[in-house]
Amino acid sequence: MKLVRNIALVVLCAILSCCKQPEGDLQYYTAPNHYEVVSVTPPPADAEVRNVILMIGDGMGLEQISCAWVLNRGKLNIDNFPIVGLSRTYCTDNLITDSAAGGTALAVGQKTAIDHVGCDPDGAPLYSMLSKAQELGKKTGCVTVCHLADATPCDFCCHNPSRYDSNGLIADYIDCGVDFIAGGGRDYFGPKRHDGRDIVAEMKAKGYTSASDEQQLMEAALPVLGLMSDDNLPIAAERGDLFRHMVARCLDLLSSASGEKGFVAMLEGSCIDDWLHANRIDLAMEETLDFDRTVGDVLQWAEKDGHTLVIVTADHSTGALTLQDGDIAEGRIGVEFGNDSHNGLAVPYFVWGPGSDAFGGTLENCELSNIISSFIK
């Protein structure tokens, strides 16, 4: 009888062993291609700052940057930045922020409550660095990969205590005064609205030129509203260089129109975050690498200009990602996700250009914003 029990125990253990997921089960991804990074020389740190470009990789923490670095065979355009620091991302009512509160802190220089867009915890409007630039006669731009009802672009252009009020948020673009607005979300400006309003028509009445594809965007004059897709832009592998071209057009138009007064622009690699939420390391990394290629374009533009301060950071990190295996020479990573949401880790920020010596060390996200805004004058 004892022998029978022992045999049964062995069989049970064998069955359970077969059913158990192996420990350390990793997602592997190998980048199909890699690209050459740029090499740029910053202007003197005491040169006049005329233009400020803030680039936000949504959900892009140090973990994601580290993975992208391996995939591109040990080099990124972000490596050009001489000043690196950390930004703490918590909001007023939660240790783990979201893009609404995290982006608002970066936009306005003040922490707020979760889900709040461009307003304080009580819902009172807070005005972003783009609004400050407009008051000083500078041109302004907002370019994003996601739809324009998403939290981060709205943090810079709109005001609402709920990031989920897409109708209200989109209506705020009418009076935001931003000169170059481009992203996805055509449906949110009319077809999906519950109130029947045609926001594109209302913005045209305010003087905006509407563009619905890349060719129209390249021909449009300021102020311009570029709605390049019904929802988010296509994934990185399908859209090609569309985001890079949108950014290039933004910088060229703002620079030409602003002259020596300069401009301020927020450029967001939005869908890094979306694919991290989905735990799709392949698509998240393709978005991260496309964002880094865009960083390279911006740095080359800024090097020629000589008066542009460039900051790259994130609103938070997503996915509790850990890099556990890989090969730099092969451009291969093995990762594991800890969750499908955000985490409370500090995120890196990178600074290049005149005025960069004012940055460094560990800052609150709102402090980082206030230092950036000090150069908008």
DSSP 353: S
Instruction: Give the whole-angstrom CA distance, residue 101 versus residue 203.
Output: 27
What's the CATH superfamily of 36-373? Alkaline Phosphatase, subunit A (3.40.720.10)
Of the two residues 151 and 22, the one the predictor is more confident about is 151
Percent of the chain with pLDDT over 70: 94
Q: Confidence class of residue 24 from pLDDT cuts 50, 70 and 90?
A: low
Outline where DSSP puts E strands in the chain: 27-30, 51-57, 83-88, 139-147, 180-184, 209-211, 224-227, 263-269, 308-313, 317-318, 321-327, 332-337, 342-343, 347-352, 361-364
pLDDT at 45: 79
Enter the tokens of residue 82: 């001489």
pLDDT tens-digit map of 153-164: 999 999 999 999
Average pLDDT score over residue span 201-211: 97
* Joined tokens for residue 124: 């009172």
The alpha-helical segments, DSSP class H, found in 173-280 are 199-205, 214-219, 236-239, 242-258, 271-277
Residue range 14-40: mean pLDDT, rounded: 72
The yes-or-no verdict on residue 11 having pLDDT over 50 is: no
212 is annotated as an active-site residue = no
How far is Cα 123 from Cα 64, in angstroms, rounded to an integer? 33
Note the pTM of the prediction, 2 decimals.
0.93
Cα distances from 233 to residues 73, 214, 246, 321, in angstroms, run: 27, 12, 11, 24
Residue with tokens 């071209």: 245
> What was the pLDDT predicted at 46?
86
Q: Identify the active-site residue in 99, 166, 270, 369.
A: 99
Greater confidence (56 vs 193) lies with 56
Q: Residue for token digits 């000589």? A: 306
Domain parsing of the chain, residue ranges: 36-373
Look at residue 25 in the predicted model and tell me its pLDDT: 82
pLDDT grade, residue 9 (50/70/90)? very low
Rounded to whole angstroms, how far apart are CA atoms 174 and 185? 15
**Residue range 294-343, pLDDT digits in tens:** 999 999 999 999 999 999 999 999 999 999 999 999 999 999 999 999 99
Average pLDDT, the chain: 93
